[in-house]
């Protein structure tokens, strides 16, 4: 018998760390089990929309996160051949700041905000046993832990998802992303010779390149691409090294600013983009999933981590509403109040249409999870997922 009501979060990625922080702030007893021995600052940026910044406000981390990132006023979409502006969306004015930031810096802020005694590294979950009383977790280091409920925030290859629905590898989307940073003298030269947008997506035929600053000082610029590609054998890794040659080939014929960004970039990596169809269930018994474990997507709308963080926030609200004893109702309420919005973002992100043409992004950025009603199970969720 467990002595106190305990929650286990599997995975301390962007979604798991946010979920655990929100639950700890709400007073729950939460342990986090992460397979990695430590986290490193991998060269990649991330957008944090106002919908997510409002959740960092709830975590008590809004000020620190805002201070870390660049604050673009607009998302600009440009024609990859001639730099014509296809669309320009205002990013400020949605009740919180829109930032672009190094994801390692954001992640560090997140996991350092957790109770250090409750964050356990080097714990790769291997086996789960549920019974009427609790869940027993077994890790690859031979240790075990017990919890009343388990939140799978363990990413696209989630062990918890496999337990809910059976083992099934994610589907390769047919696309890769290249990622690289531009820093130091290379960035100074690029800035001197080119008019860099704070936040831009270049669209060229069947491919694109998104670029933005990742620090408040604007001393680091980042690009991430979406390029059709045959399947890649990454030998179990998330990414492989890429090269300037590969990038020049992929963006042959594109605008000189794109060529200059490629030239100036360092340590280019290539990431296969995998996805899954929307899942039929999000929980079973004492287990529930959030984030990429639940609705992985191509990253073209820059909201994948956002949806993981929104999941954690809604799940916390539902557990607060029902109490931990009635976790079954909380899990159902969570799915009922999240599925439609997460699936909509997943669908639009996978289709890669967001802001290619002028459109109102308020349904994404204007969303305030904390002023949303928690719809009871017998009432349908409103269609837009936006406050009425």
Ligand X SMILES: Cc1cc2nc3c(=O)[nH]c(=O)nc-3n(C[C@H](O)[C@H](O)[C@H](O)COP(=O)(O)OP(=O)(O)OC[C@H]3O[C@@H](n4cnc5c(N)ncnc54)[C@H](O)[C@@H]3O)c2cc1C
**Residues designated as active site:** 47, 212
Q: Could you give the CA distance from residue 169 to residue 166 in angstroms, rounded to a whole number?
A: 10
Q: Rounded to the nearest whole angstrom, what is the least distance from the CB of residue 34 to ligand X in the complex?
A: 5
User: Would you state the torsion angle of the CA atoms of residues 105, 59, 153, 115, taken in this order, to the nearest 10 degrees?
Assistant: 80
User: Which 191-230 residues touch ligand X, going by CB under 6 A?
Assistant: 224
**Residue 9 in the binding site for ligand X (CB under 6 A):** no
Q: Rounded to the nearest whole angstrom, what is the least distance from the CB of residue 294 to ligand X in the complex?
A: 8
**Residue 305 in the binding site for ligand X (CB under 6 A):** yes
User: Which 37-56 residues touch ligand X, going by CB under 6 A?
Assistant: 46-47
Q: Could you give the CA distance from residue 187 to residue 110 in angstroms, rounded to a whole number?
A: 28
Structure tokens that stand for 303 in this block: 């909201």
Residue whose tokens read 């290859």: 157
By beta-carbon proximity to ligand X, the closer residue of 45 and 322 is 45
**Residue 176 in the binding site for ligand X (CB under 6 A):** no
User: Which 324-363 residues touch ligand X, going by CB under 6 A?
Assistant: none
Which letter does DSSP use for residue 13 in this model? S
**Residue 2 in the binding site for ligand X (CB under 6 A):** no
**Residue 15 in the binding site for ligand X (CB under 6 A):** yes
CA distances from 150 to 62, 253, 332 (A): 27, 50, 15
* 68-76, 151-159, 242-250, 278-286 -> range binding ligand X (CB under 6 A): 151-159
**Residue 13 in the binding site for ligand X (CB under 6 A):** yes
By beta-carbon proximity to ligand X, the closer residue of 150 and 322 is 150
By beta-carbon proximity to ligand X, the closer residue of 16 and 170 is 16
Reference 293, options 123, 152, 128, 137; nearest CA is 152
Q: Could you give the CA distance from residue 308 to residue 316 in angstroms, rounded to a whole number?
A: 12
β-sheet bridge partners, residue 269: 179, 241
* 242-250, 296-304, 333-341, 350-358 -> range binding ligand X (CB under 6 A): 296-304
CA distances from 377 to 144, 323, 337, 368 (A): 35, 16, 9, 20
Residue whose tokens read 């001393």: 219
**Residue 308 in the binding site for ligand X (CB under 6 A):** yes
Tell me the site size for ligand X, rule CB under 6 A: 34
By beta-carbon proximity to ligand X, the closer residue of 76 and 224 is 224
Q: Rounded to the nearest whole angstrom, what is the least distance from the CB of residue 192 to ligand X in the complex?
A: 27
Give the Cα-Cα-Cα angle 68, 72, 76 (nearest 5 degrees).
Answer: 145
Q: Could you give the CA distance from residue 88 to residue 195 in angstroms, rounded to a whole number?
A: 16
Instruction: Enumerate binding residues for ligand X (CB under 6 A).
Output: 10-16, 33-36, 46-47, 123-125, 153-155, 159, 177, 179, 224, 271, 291-293, 299, 302-306, 308
């Amino acid at each position: 018998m467990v002595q106190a009501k305990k929650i286990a979060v599997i995975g301390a990625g962007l979604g798991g760390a946010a979920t655990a922080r929100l639950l700890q702030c709400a007073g729950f007893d939460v342990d986090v089990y992460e397979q990695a021995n430590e986290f490193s600052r991998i060269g990649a940026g991330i957008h944090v929309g106002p919908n997510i910044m409002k959740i960092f406000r709830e975590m008590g981390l809004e000020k620190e996160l805002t201070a870390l990132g660049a604050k673009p006023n607009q998302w600009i979409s440009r024609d990859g051949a001639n730099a014509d502006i296809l669309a320009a969306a205002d990013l400020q004015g949605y009740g919180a700041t829109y930032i672009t930031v190094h994801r390692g810096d954001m992640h560090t802020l997140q996991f350092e905000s957790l109770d250090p005694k409750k964050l356990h590294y080097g714990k790769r979950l291997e086996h789960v046993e549920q019974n009427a009383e609790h869940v027993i977790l077994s890790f690859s280091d031979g240790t075990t832990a017990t919890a009343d409920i388990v939140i799978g925030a363990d990413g696209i290859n989630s062990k918890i998802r496999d337990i809910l629905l059976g083992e099934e590898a994610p589907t390769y989307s047919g696309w890769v992303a290249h990622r690289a940073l531009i820093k130091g003298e290379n960035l100074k030269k690029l800035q001197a010779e080119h008019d860099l947008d704070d936040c831009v997506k270049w669209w060229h035929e069947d491919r694109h390149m998104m670029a933005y600053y990742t620090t408040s000082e604007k001393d680091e610029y980042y690009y991430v691409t979406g390029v059709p590609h045959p399947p890649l054998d990454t030998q179990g890794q998330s990414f492989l090294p890429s090269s300037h040659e590969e990038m020049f080939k992929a963006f042959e014929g594109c605008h000189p600013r794109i060529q200059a960004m490629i030239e100036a970039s360092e340590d280019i990596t290539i990431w296969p983009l995998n996805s899954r169809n929307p899942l039929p269930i999000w929980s079973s018994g004492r287990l529930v999933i959030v984030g990429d474990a639940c609705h992985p997507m191509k990253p073209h709308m820059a909201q994948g981590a956002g949806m993981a963080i929104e999941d954690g926030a809604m799940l916390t609200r539902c557990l607060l509403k029902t109490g931990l004893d009635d976790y079954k109702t909380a899990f159902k309420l969570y799915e009922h109040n999240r599925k439609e919005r997460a699936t909509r973002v997943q669908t639009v992100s996978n289709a890669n249409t967001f802001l290619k043409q002028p459109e109102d992004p308020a349904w994404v950025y204007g969303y305030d999870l904390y002023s949303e009603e928690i719809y009871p199970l017998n009432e349908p969720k409103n269609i837009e997922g936006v406050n009425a």
